């Protein structure tokens, strides 16, 4: 992994990182040498336990325990839904109403390995959302997931017609370029090739609230946007916002 880990909180019991996109949370089962946060942490600490996972292409807040007792305590909080996880999500279209709940069970896709889908036979899944800002062609949302199903946010917003702006599996594109933000006003110089602003999921784990397993203190931890996500929002505010 290039660069240093971005610590948002750390003590002798646990660490919270601002995960970069493109890195696994845990070692890959088939290719364990792929860059992952557990191995990176274990270069500094004797042992690190994952408490909750983020998809490889998702950025933001992620928590690790540094001993078995802390791991048990934090895992129980997650299992009993005593934590609050907020995600910021950029989706296509103008989401309406301004807030709401998506309550749709999710199950594995019957023919596409690794893909999930809404299904009455699936596991219960609930996502609350609130609009943070509407643009002409996109919406920035805040999502509060009440369950932790695989690809839950991606599946849920796609299922109501507002897929993530960058999501090759459930959305319409695998990268977002300035031309799609500026639309008719976009001009590319002769011989120039456009480079996308965002080449990964438009999904960021923005904040986490959890009780410290030893002190009982309520930890409220926020993760700043990474450079690529910031760049997209800057361009949206400049070229796709309402006048």
27 closest CA partner among 46, 9, 53, 4 = 53
Peptide bond into 97 cis (omega under 30): yes
Residue 167 falls in the annotated catalytic set: no
Residue 180 contacts residue 165 (beta carbons within 8 Å): no
How many of the other CB atoms lie within 10 Å of CB of 143? 22
How many CA atoms are closer than 13 Å to the CA of 148, on its beta-carbon side? 17
146 closest CA partner among 206, 97, 104, 95 = 104
Query: How do strand 84-92 and strand 49-50 relate by DSSP bridges?
Result: unpaired
Bridge partner residues of 65 (DSSP): 14, 49
Q: Choose, from 6, 11, 28, 55, the residue flagged as catalytic.
A: 55
Between CA 73 and CA 94 the distance in angstroms is 40
Q: Residues with catalytic annotation?
A: 55
């Amino acid at each position: 992994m290039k660069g240093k880990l971005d610590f948002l909180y750390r003590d002798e019991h646990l660490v919270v990182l601002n995960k970069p996109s493109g890195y696994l949370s845990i070692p890959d089962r088939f290719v364990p040498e792929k860059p992952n946060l557990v191995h990176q942490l274990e270069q500094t600490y004797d042992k690190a336990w994952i408490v909750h996972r983020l998809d490889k292409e998702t950025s933001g807040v992620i928590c690790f325990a540094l001993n078995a007792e802390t791991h048990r305590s934090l895992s129980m909080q997650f299992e009993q839904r005593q934590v609050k996880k907020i995600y910021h999500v950029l989706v296509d279209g103008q989401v309406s109403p301004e807030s709401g709940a998506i309550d749709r069970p999710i199950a594995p896709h019957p023919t596409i390995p690794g893909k999930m889908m809404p299904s009455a036979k699936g596991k219960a899944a609930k996502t609350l959302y609130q609009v943070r800002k509407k643009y002409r062609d996109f919406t920035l949302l805040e999502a509060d997931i009440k369950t932790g199903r695989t690809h839950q946010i991606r599946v849920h917003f796609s299922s109501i017609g507002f897929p993530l702006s960058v999501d090759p599996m459930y959305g319409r594109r695998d990268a977002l370029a300035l031309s799609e933000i500026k639309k008719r006003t976009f001009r590319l110089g002769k011989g120039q090739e456009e480079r996308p602003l965002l080449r990964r999921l438009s999904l960021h784990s923005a904040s986490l609230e959890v009780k410290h397993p030893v002190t009982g203190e309520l930890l409220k931890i926020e993760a700043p946007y990474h450079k690529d996500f910031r760049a997209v929002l800057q361009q949206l505010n400049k070229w796709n916002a309402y006048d």
